[in-house]
Chain A
Amino acid sequence: MLYRTLPEFDLVEPTTLQDAAAALASRGRTAIMAGGISLLDDMKRGGADPPDTVVTLRHIPGLRYIEGDRVGGLKIGPLATIRDVELSSTVRDGFPILHQAVSKIRSVQVKTMGTIIGNVCVGTPASDVLTALIALDARLRLIGRNSGSPLPAISLCKGPKLTHLEPTDIVEHIEIPGVQGPSYGAYINLTRTLPDIAKLTVAVNLFMEDGVCADARIVVGAVAPIIFRASAAEDSLRGRGLDHETIDRAAVAARDDPTTTPIDDIRSTASYRRGMVGVLVRRALEAAATKAAAA
């Protein structure tokens, strides 16, 4: 040994989810590892309380899956990688918002190692993946908790990189409800260089009935401590056709939403981000409206 970047810890390698849960429950400061790229990065950055036990999921068979379809709904397992999702034709055809969002992550290495669930569990407000999943009304099924009702992705986070998950929680899968009628979505983000973490993420998902917007989800990331739905903007769309004025009004409502509280950081400025919420929401709605009109 010459170089060693990580602090010391025990590695536990369970072969069943039950053993994993038991290991998490019986030890001190624990962490689950899926792809490990976020976890190890955090540990290198030397947070105050690094875990003394890391529980890897890699040796548990059967966790790498993407199952289902658009109508019946989709389940994504704990070891399904971002790359798996990007290459899945089920996702590309049935859940294009998610496909577009994961394609914004550029590095093949990151996509090969990183899992979808790992991405979501980090809880960053700039996650492309979580922004898209909220627009798809995804839920997290946790082992041994909320057995009847999985945790909605929109309710996962309480702050930047802070989730409602306990260290003992294991996300068994993410489920995306099936969709019966027509829906039209779009995903857009803004970055400095393309592989960069986004300075703003926007996903929209519109449900149309007879040329009228029956329901809408407008999701905005990186402009508040957590990713949120611009509810006033969504309300302004319901029951209306997707003409320019309606779209503009919704975009302004998203920009002026009280939850839109961007900050200045190395990636952008608060005022720019706020302005861009309006522009990107409008563009995403226009893209979705164009698809709806073409259908």
Chain B
Amino acid sequence: MNRIPATFYVNGVRRDLLVDANALLFEVLSDDLGVSGVHKNCDRGDCGVCTVLLDDEPVLSCLMLALEARDRQITTIEGLAKGQKLHPLQRHFVEEGAIQCGYCTPAMILTAKALLNACPHPSAEDVKEGLSGTLCRCTGYNKIITAVLAAAKESE
């Protein structure tokens, strides 16, 4: 198996590593780069809780080789708040009660961020479509949808 030197830009910070060909992006982020806000469950593309943004697009870190993300901008949940100041999505998730166990939350917020990038003024239906790749077993989605709509409204 080959190992390839790779540069990642994780939340704007350059990280240089020697990466095994078979390492998944999730594995490099959580084990080598100490990013604990990226979670994993199904390992198969079905739950979306491993979602991170790659050049602002939502991707599944459990189904992507780390090497495929090299030289690109990777945004994880750690990259959203500025110091103590939460990103509007984070703040509305907190205030609306859109977080229960929180295991889906980093992915859900990042998926929502990608949605708002592509569609800044979404309807509730747009939000449902945009988030459907990220499962939440706890909330029943209502408060998540409200939080995303509120964050969208705020940036108007």
Contacts and interface: CB of A to CB of B under 8 A. Distances in A.
Are any A and B Cβ atoms less than 8 Å apart in their complex?
A: yes
A194 B63 contact: no
Which of B22, B24, B62, B134 has the largest number of chain A CB atoms within 10 A? B22
A26 B14 CA distance: 36
B24 A109 contact: no
Contact of B1 (A10, A106, A195): A10
Contacts of A33: 65
Interface stretch (A36-44, A64-72, A151-159, A253-261): A36-44
A1 interface: yes
A220 to B, nearest CB: 25
B38 to A, nearest CB: 12
B130 A108 contact: yes
Nearest to B27: A3
Given A11-B21, A108-B130, A44 B44 contact: yes
Interface stretch (B52-60, B83-91, B93-101, B145-153): B52-60
A44 B59 CA distance: 18
Contacts of B129: 106, 108
Interface in B89-139: 111, 114-115, 129-130, 132-134
Chain B at the A interface: mostly helix, strand, loop or mixed? mixed
Interface in B68-87: 68
Interface residues of B, number: 36
Contacts of A4: 20, 22-23, 27
Interface residues on A, range: 20 to 34
B154 interface: no
B108 to A, nearest CB: 12
Which of A5, A58, A108, A110 has the largest number of chain B CB atoms within 10 A? A108
B63 A40 contact: yes
B156 interface: no
Contacts of A194: 132
Contact of A113 (B1, B27, B43, B64): B64
Contacts of B62: 5
A3 B61 CA distance: 13
B133 A108 contact: yes
A9 interface: yes
A112 interface: yes
Given A1-B23, A1-B32, A108 B63 contact: no
21 contacts: A5-B27, A5-B62, A7-B22, A8-B1, A8-B21, A9-B21, A10-B2, A33-B65, A40-B24, A44-B43, A44-B44, A54-B21, A107-B45, A107-B133, A108-B111, A108-B132, A109-B45, A109-B111, A113-B64, A194-B132, A195-B132
